[in-house]
Structure 1
Amino acid sequence: MKVEHGITGSRSEKPSFSNPSRHHWWIILFALVTVIGVVISGILPRIQARATLRKETADLAVPTVSVIRPKQSAPVEEVVLPANVQAFADAPIYARSNGYLKRWYADIGAHVKTGRLLAEIETPEIDQQLRQARADLATAEANLNLSRITAERYADLLKTDSVSKQEADNAAGDYAAKQAVVQSARANVGRLEQMQSFERIYAPFDGVITARNTDIGALIDSGSSGGQRRELFHILQPSKLRVYVNVPEAYSQAAKPGLTADLTLSEFPGRRFQGKLVRTANAIDQATRTLLVEILVDNPTGTLLTGAYAEVHLRLPTAVSSLLVPANSLIFRSEGLQVATVSDRQRAELKRITVGHDFGSEVEVVAGLTGNEAVIVNPPDSLISGQTVRISQNPGPEEQPNQKGPQK
């Protein structure tokens, strides 16, 4: 009985020897799974982060650009040019005879009419010469009268053969000579009377006296004897003004007589004075490469002062409508002047252009663009043709198309 019990007890204890081994394998498996999970949970985010970083790096490598559409220039360009305001008539007044200033009648700022007496000059030498010339004329006329009577008598005596024909001819010749002497004396009197009239200085036209360079008792030298003559008065006519403008050669074909022009002056802020282009020089100045034009401005009240600096606003018609692009869209490279455009495939394309006028913030493009391109503003220096770009979704206010061209 004891033996059986022992045998039975030993059989019943065999399963207890296999349980620790099986439990050990489960622990190993669990630990392995745990390690794998930890490894995966640690490496996988890094892999994802690297992939994300690569993607972001690739996205950042694609430049984001702002684009605009080229604008059509206006059919009329307003060109602003510097100019000087001049009087329609402007003249210095000199003396024609020598002497001393007796009296003056107009000072600076005086408004005078044509023919008004401005000054008188004392010329005693001319007065004496005139009196002598008149006396010589009287003598010549008396001799002429005697010669006429003598010639008539000899002609009557010749009819009765009381005198020879030679004597009659001598009398007739003397009469003709005396006539010439009288004419010479009259011409001399007229010359001196004209010189005496130069003692009085008159205004040549309606205007304003702007300078008086003499005074009573001053010695006046006309310069006829080689002396240095001096301007006595200066007069100008401010009711009409001439404005001379040098128009650049690029606008010379559009600057034609009949165009209207506006004047602006710093002393009249906000005001414009209208004028009209009346004539041009019809020739380009080789030194300045400009065309001289004249603008006539009415100034009945004398508001505008001669000699003032002004800016002339000329509205010149354009022969061909051109395109305008921002100046900061230009690319300066060895290949020439270019702009960058964006194609439908979001790729950059560099196009060579020919520019016309430079308006500061904008430039005129006369060749190289059709007007339908999306032009990149502020393109990167490293931009090349075929490079992928991304168009900004927030265009600036300067990128709005179909606006009028600027004023020049």
Structure 2
Amino acid sequence: MHIDTAPSHPQPRPGKGRARVGLLLALIVLIAIVAFGMTGRASESAALQTWTEKQALPSVLLVKPLAVPQLPALVLPGRLEAWSRAAIFARVGGYLKSWKAEIGTRVKAGQLLAEIDTPELDQQLLQARADLATAKANATLAGTSAKRWQAMLASDSVSKQEVDERNGDLAAKQAQVMAAQANVERLTATKSFQRLVAPFDGVVTARTTDVGALINAGNNSGGQELFAVSEVSHLRVYVQVPQSYAAQIKLGSNAQISVPEYPKEVFMATVIASAESVSPATGTTLVQLQVDNQAARLLPGAYTSVRFELSAQAGVVRIPASALKYDDHGLRVATLDTHDRVLFKTVTIARDFGDSVEIGSGLTATDRIIDTPPDALSDQDAVQISSANAEGNPHG
């Protein structure tokens, strides 16, 4: 009988191998979960940090400047005035005897407008002439007496003192004659003012009296304007020109004026004077023009529209007034450069429309402008653009 002495090897158990594989798989899954969690937390932390940094940047709204069409003309309201206007007041009191010129009447210099009945003045003139006659008679008598006393002095019939007295009396009487004569001439000159006449060629533009009306002399003691005569063969045009355009309105330059009653016509006018100063109340300069009116189609006192031809100003853009910032550096506008960094630009205003302004220099039509810039904003600051621009901001 044969006995096998070789060692025997135990066979592996199938259940124990599967357990090890499962444990290994579970370990791998656990490691994957931990790694995924750590990656998610890192991503969330980075996103949170990015969001926090983004929220720390000021949000700004951008607007684009609008290029202004260059219309080389300035249209302003004006008023027409007579070249000369004289208000006719009475120099003497009385009652209006008659008037000879109605409103609209064309008159020549010296033409009679009205007559005033002056009974009181007539009596004063009569009395003055009587006083003059008395003064002349007294002077004649004093002259005769003085000559006689002077002749008697040669024979020592009278004293030198008495002769001097007679000569002095003659001088006094002659002075009284001169005074009386001056009074008569004054009243005669005043009497001539009972006739109201036109001071120059023109048209009667006002009549505020009638026959029988009580007339008071002068214009400071209850007297009223009786007539007004205007010279209208050429008219003055007065225009208030804004300060920003005043330097472009030169003496001798031409302008076109139009009036509502002739909507399809223009009249040529010439600049003849300027106030050469700016009114603090309106910020404008008063400019005077002259327009020919030989045909008498234009009326003094009427409204007119005045058009000045100006040289075009290049580079003018319009922006909201809220984009302006005035500080120690002057008037500036905040813009964004190509790297979305703040860049302040100094500007000048060409025209102010209230809610918007025209910028004469400092900006271009391609600039990106920050509307209502925060006070703390400085050059090279980083900002974030408001979502309103992306949502169709009408200015953006």
Q: TM-score range by the shorter chain?
A: 0.5 to 0.7
C-alpha deviation, 1:256, in angstroms? 3.3
The correspondence for 2:293, drawn from 293, 299, 307, is 299
Is the Cα contact below 8 Å between 2:66 and 2:319 reproduced in 1? Answer: no
1:111-146 deviations in whole A, cap 9, x for unaligned? 011111011111111101101111110111111122
Provide the rounded CA distance (Å) in 1 between the counterparts of 2:165 and 2:318: 99
Match in the other structure for 1:149: 144
Counterpart residue number, 2:349: 356
CA 1:351/1:235 → structure 2, altered by over 3 Å: closer, same or farther? farther
Shift of 1:248: 1.2
Question: Which of the numbers 291, 301, 315 marks the counterpart of 2:309?
Answer: 315
Alignment of 1:370-381 (within 5 A): 374=366
Assess if the C-alpha contact under 8 Å between 1:81 and 1:311 holds in 2. Answer: yes
Q: Deviations over 1:228-257 (max 9, x none)?
A: 222211221111211111111222333332
Q: CA RMSD in A?
A: 3.6
Per the alignment, residue 282 of structure 1 pairs with 276
Spell out, residue by residue over 1:303-329, the C-alpha distance to the aligned partner (whole angstroms, 9 max, x if none). 1111111111123457xx54034659x
Partner-residue secondary structure (3-state), 1:81:
strand
Q: Give 2:227's match in structure 1, choosing from 225, 230, 233.
A: 233
* Aligned partners of 2:204 and 2:229 also within 8 Å: yes
TM-score normalised by L of structure 1: 0.65
**Percentage identity across paired residues of the two chains:** 41
Gaps of 5+ in 2: 1-63, 327-331, 372-381, 386-396
Shift of 1:162: 2.7
Cα 1:69–1:285 change in 2 (3 A) is: closer
Partner amino acid, structure 1, of 2:249:
A
The amino acid of 2:350's aligned partner reads H
Alpha-carbon distance in structure 2 between the residues aligned to 1:115 and 1:94 = 15
Distance 1:273 1:350, change over 3 A: farther
Tell me what 1:34 maps to: none
**TM-score normalised per structure 2:** 0.67
1:10 equivalent in structure 2: none
Describe how 1:1-400 pairs up with structure 2 within 5 A: 77-222=72-217, 228-317=222-311, 321-325=313-317, 332=323, 337=333, 354-358=347-351, 363-369=358-364, 374=366
Q: Aligned with 1:204: secondary structure?
A: coil
Q: 1:359 to 1:272 in 2, by over 3 A?
A: farther
Aligned-partner SS, 2:316: strand
Q: Provide structure 1 residue ranges, at least 5 long, that are not aligned to the other structure.
A: 1-66, 388-408
Conserved 8 A contact 2:271-2:288: yes
Query: CA contact under 8 A between 2:257 and 2:266: conserved in structure 1?
Result: yes
Inter-CA distance 103–331: structure 2 relative to 1 (3 Å threshold): closer
Secondary structure in structure 1 of the residue aligned to 2:278: strand
Q: Is the 8 A contact 2:66 2:318 kept in 1?
A: no
